Amino acid sequence: MLQNKHILIGITGGIAAYKICTLIRDFKKSGAEVKVIATPNALNFVTKLTLQNLSQNEVYIEEFDVKNWKPEHISLADWADMMLIAPASANTIGKIAQGLADNLLTSVACAFSKKIIIAPAMNCNMWNNETVQENLKTLQRRGAEILEPENGFLACGYMGKGRLCSLDKIYNAIEEALNYSQTLKGQKVVITAGGTIEEIDPVRYISNYSSGKMGLALAKSAYDMGAEVVFITTKDFDVPFKKVLVKSALDMQNAANEEFETANYIIMAAAVADYRVKEYSQQKMKKCEQDSITLEFVKNPDILAELCKRKMDCYEDKSACNCKPVIVGFCAESENLLENAKAKIAKKGCDFLIANDISRKDIGFGVNDNEVIVLSKNGDILKLDKAPKNIIARKILECISTI
């Protein structure tokens, strides 16, 4: 899958630098072309000759070692399909986040307009440093993918989070990113995520266990597939695309309605509360003498059903709206998954429905994996077996973008 792909690897000064030799060999065995940029400090841990032999290319170190008319930081950025920085030191992460370009590696990163994957490795106290974490969030907002380090025994003698993540994880992330099709280029994809919050009083609310991870995975995958993404979420994730923070079901409905007319796809991955309290208390409700209290609830709007109805109205009234988005709903069930999903897609009228079983602890709410059934309004059913949510997200998007 990496045949003829151009991978640019930046190596910084850290003990984990020696591990990248194995990664270079694996990329080469898969048919990729590899070029390496090493900071001067990186050569304290791995030699230039080793990197040169493994990559079968010149190793680039000095910023102004120009052998032709084109500056190397531009030519290398133009050559590569993907840039990996591993191990990434706290120093280099800080420089890139602040736009500093004082060596060849940081200059290339500054000029690089394609996907960058960063795999940090450092002492656990450095990793937990507030400034380092802020720099990582800045890079994430700009579209970089961060492969967080692992817990374990560190070279400095500490035990904690800071070890370079597994080479398999890095390899898989590169492979996945390089094989994203641009199916959604030029398309606007609106995605909702997280569990809505329905306030009772200034200190209490009702909600659900939705973490927003599936919606986030869908948003990131759509972005990688070239889409203009609008992410309507109850969870404050750092993302490189438009984010609309909401709280309640009514907030989410308003945000979705605002995006409807210009959307090509609307994916309702959020867990929306079915009910809200009838009367919100402006003051904190005090504990009373009674052993129980009664709160009266009223139904929230069915956002999915109303969006589907609005779409149908557009078909009937040509002046109502020129855009008729593909609408995708989600269905979280604890029993009779397929039966309930079939009933829901028929009732709501959406184009697709994604059903998942929340009774299982290894998939669904709060975990990194999922297993879903994709139903279409035409009656087609596709099961996506258990996999990381980012893999499931890409398969869902590939499926819904075929109509």
The residues assigned a catalytic role are 156
Q: What is the token pair recorded at 397?
A: 């998007």
- 41 burial level (CB within 10 Å; 0-12, 13-18, 19+): middle
Beta partners for residue 352, in sequence order: 328, 376
- Taking the CA atoms of 62, 68, 73 and 78 in sequence, report the sign of the dihedral they define: negative
Residue count of the chain, please give it: 403
Residue 2, phi then psi, degrees to nearest 5: -100, 10
Phi, psi of 170 (to 5 degrees): -65, -45
In the numeric block, which tokens belong to residue 398?
Answer: 């590939």
Q: Look at the block and give the residue holding tokens 């380090």.
A: 149
Cis peptide before 40 (omega within 30 of 0): no
Distance CA 221, CA 389 (A): 10
Question: Using CA atoms, how far apart are residues 187 and 168, in angstroms rounded to an integer?
Answer: 32
**Nearest C-alpha neighbor of 265 from the set 398, 392, 142:** 398
